[in-house]
Amino acid sequence: MSTAGSPRLLDVFQGQPKAVWITAFAAVIAFMGIGLVDPILLSIADSLNAAPSQVTLLFSSYLGVQVVAMLITGAFSSRFGAKRTVVTGLVLIVLATVACALASSIGQLIALRAVWGLGNAFFIATALSVIVGAASGGQQAAILLYEAALGIGLSTGPLLGALLGHLSWRGPFAGTAVLMAVALVLAVGFLPSDSGERRQRVTLLDPLRALRHGGLLRTSLGSALYTAAFFTVLAWSPFVLEFGAIAVGLVFFGWGLCVAVAGVTLAPKLAARFGEVGATVFAVLAYAALLGVMTIDSKVVVVVGVILSGLASGLLNTLFTGAAMSASSAPRPVASAGYNFCRWFGGALAATLVGHVAEWFDSPHAPFAVGAVACVLAAGLLLSGRCRPDPHTVPAEAAVVGDEV
């Protein structure tokens, strides 16, 4: 991520066109879906007689489908255009969230979360390119807007889940459906048309071919390891805390605020001081240390650890993606798709295995220890690349943050 001449935060939010605000609003709602189910995991388990390992599949199916879909969104967008891709994603999310609110079994919920993940892949993979293309103030201003949407969504998702989930576990899904329907109407009515637009052709295998680049592959695998730790905190902490929906929602609201502040304000400063790779190594090792502390058998320690981990996550969500987009000379959408494929695969794998890890080690805190090891391995991958300069020339325009969580 280029840090020279970064726009002031207040300037970023002034004079933006309607297309930017509509896409940013939809992005907030889309990112809310990631943490929405956190406060109601225990309620879902109780209401549907589901084991923790079944309930965490709500993350696995969502992320697993998103992983595969990331490989096709670039080809879909290149053929049908950004607006149609965004609208397709929003339609799928609305349908999935309405159906989730009406589900009668854990199996149905898991399947519907997969549809939700497919919609999210179409939307998230395209939203940043829409914002970058329409935003005033250049690409860096667009990136800060996108990061702000990410942070607001991650912080308000658990809070909305807690408030509506306090009434019924179905409430958060119904509330998201309503908000996404509003975003869909706005997108259809106000996003610019794709007609007459010349689009670069992207094939299904281009994102995987981009991973042949050593720097991009190392960064992508490092991000996959970090994302595995990220979803360990997100999917498993409610089972360790055993709090009610409101309490869990407030904990993750604090976490989300830390994500927003660190991603928008601290990450550019850290990258300017230590460089993208150096700042990423520092942040991922800090995340490992926090996860190590969270293995202590104390709910107070876990609460503080979850909230503070938001600072490291905010840094890493920005820095890892910025490093990936700067690593190779591949077109940004292609490099981003390959990077996101690896990244979300790590999250899907962690969400699937986290409950089993606790059973294998007979400790509810064992997943945090495994997540800490994953972060240390991520730092090692990044450091190994510093001694291997890549002969590829990296264009200046590649040094921007790509598609996020």
Q: To which H or E segment does residue 203 belong?
A: none
- CA distance linking residue 373 with residue 367, whole number of Å: 10
CA angle 371, 376, 381 (to 5 degrees): 120
- CA distance linking residue 350 with residue 348, whole number of Å: 6
Residue 353 tokens read as 């295995």
Asked whether residue 404 is domain-assigned, the answer is: no
Domain residues for 85? 9-391
Return the pLDDT at 213.
Answer: 85
The pTM score is 0.80
Distances (CA, A) of 45 to 230, 344, 403: 22, 25, 32
- CA distance linking residue 191 with residue 130, whole number of Å: 9
Asked whether residue 4 is domain-assigned, the answer is: no
**Do residues 390 and 214 touch, judged by C-beta distance below 8 A?**
yes
Question: How many folded domains does the chain comprise?
Answer: 1
Asked whether residue 398 is domain-assigned, the answer is: no
Asked whether residue 309 is domain-assigned, the answer is: yes
Residue type, 221: L
**Chain-centre distance for alpha carbon 16:** 24
- CA distance linking residue 248 with residue 261, whole number of Å: 20
- CA distance linking residue 212 with residue 93, whole number of Å: 33
Domain containing 198 — which CATH number?
1.20.1250.20
Asked whether residue 336 is domain-assigned, the answer is: yes
- CA distance linking residue 156 with residue 28, whole number of Å: 9
Return the pLDDT at 210.
Answer: 82
Return the pLDDT at 92.
Answer: 94
Cβ partners under 8 Å of residue 26, min gap 6:
86, 90, 123, 127, 180, 183, 184, 186, 187
Cβ partners under 8 Å of residue 256, min gap 6:
35, 151, 152, 153, 154, 155, 156, 157, 158, 159, 310
Composition of the chain by helix, strand, coil, percent to 5: 80, 0, 20
Would you state the torsion angle of the CA atoms of residues 23, 25, 26, 29, taken in this order, to the nearest 10 degrees? Answer: 160
3-state secondary structure of 212: coil
Asked whether residue 399 is domain-assigned, the answer is: no
Asked whether residue 402 is domain-assigned, the answer is: no
**Do residues 30 and 154 touch, judged by C-beta distance below 8 A?**
no
Tens of pLDDT, residue by residue, the chain (405 residues): 444 445 555 555 566 777 778 888 888 887 787 777 778 888 888 899 988 888 888 888 888 898 888 778 777 877 778 788 889 999 999 999 999 999 999 999 999 999 998 998 888 767 766 776 666 665 566 666 777 787 788 778 888 888 888 888 899 899 888 888 988 888 888 777 765 555 566 677 777 888 888 888 999 999 999 999 998 998 899 989 988 888 988 998 899 889 888 888 888 889 888 888 899 999 999 999 999 999 999 999 999 999 999 999 989 988 887 777 777 777 666 777 788 888 888 988 998 898 889 999 999 999 999 999 999 999 999 888 654 544 433 333 333 333 444
3-state secondary structure of 295: coil
Q: To which H or E segment does residue 250 belong?
A: helix 245-261
Asked whether residue 165 is domain-assigned, the answer is: yes
